[in-house]
Amino acid sequence: MKDTLLKMGIALAGSSLIAVGAIPAASAAVLINESFEGVAGIDAEGFKTFGPGVLSGTAFTVEEGSIDILGPGFELPAGELVVSGQGQYLDTSGNDRSILSSTNAFSFDVGDVLDLSFTLIGYNDSGRFGDSARVLVSLGDLFEEQFEIGADANPTIFSRTINVSSAASDVKLTFSTLNVDVEPDNQSRFVGPFLDDVSLKVVDVPEPSVLLGFLALGAIAGRQRQRKAIQ
């Protein structure tokens, strides 16, 4: 009988731990949330090329080269719709290679957890520019990775979690187009994928002291219920 009561007490302790020591849901500080809809002067079927400078209406600056902002109805010369239902989006290679960086620089502390996500879209013209395109994505010294997407690929979301192991300041999010060998002339040209829906967040992870506090409260409540069950 005593063993049964002890088991009941342990079970109650566990339920108390869940109720009293529930950890608050993580929230996030949004640093970048960009869909390029704020760029003015783009009609539904057109596009506009931008050279070096702040890309007005967005969170980004063209550091080198040029980019295009495309309208939702932009078509290839052959009349084929590039992307359906995407709104405005960015061609990472306008007339040549481009380097696109966040206009604002950020600072991060040790222990920060960052969520990065963005959408890449194939340029739907593999006959002229090869079968895929690549872009180098970097966040200062905290993160760097090449991403590749097929020429005919539908919008694809890429996401990464970045754990900050050393404090960093003056950090910018950067997208750089990479060159590919283009058939049939084998010339090296810069062909970048289309980019949309860029998001960078700092996830608010509870401090260890907060977690220990919640666990301690749960343990105390559990012991109290265990004593009552045994008595």
Q: What are the backbone angles phi and psi of residue 127, rounded to the nearest 5°?
A: -65, -30
Q: Which amino acid is at 192?
A: G
Contacts (Cβ under 8 Å, ≥6 apart) of 193? 92, 120, 121, 122, 123, 133, 134, 135, 147, 149
128 vs 156 pLDDT, higher one:
156
Measure the CA–CA gap between 125 and 224, rounded to whole angstroms: 69
pTM comes to 0.73
Paired tokens of 72: 């939702």
| Straight-line distance from the first to the last Cα atom of the chain, in angstroms, rounded to the nearest whole number | 11
Q: Is 54's pLDDT higher than 90?
A: yes
CA atoms within 13 A on the CB side of 98: 28
Average pLDDT estimate for 34-59 = 90
Instruction: Write the DSSP string, 56-90.
Output: TTSSEEEEEE-EEEE-TT-B-TTS-BS-SS--SEE
Locate the domains of the chain by residue range: 1-24+208-231, 26-205
Amino acid at 140: G
Contact 103, 154 (CB under 8 A): no
Query: With 60 as the cut, is the pLDDT of residue 7 above it?
Result: no
CATH topology for 26-205 is Jelly Rolls (2.60.120)
| 59/75: higher pLDDT | 59
Q: Which of 25-34, 129-138, 177-186 has the lowest mean pLDDT?
A: 177-186
Per-residue pLDDT band for 130 (boundaries 50, 70, 90) equals low
* pLDDT digit string, tens, across residues 170-197: 999 999 988 655 555 555 455 678 899 9
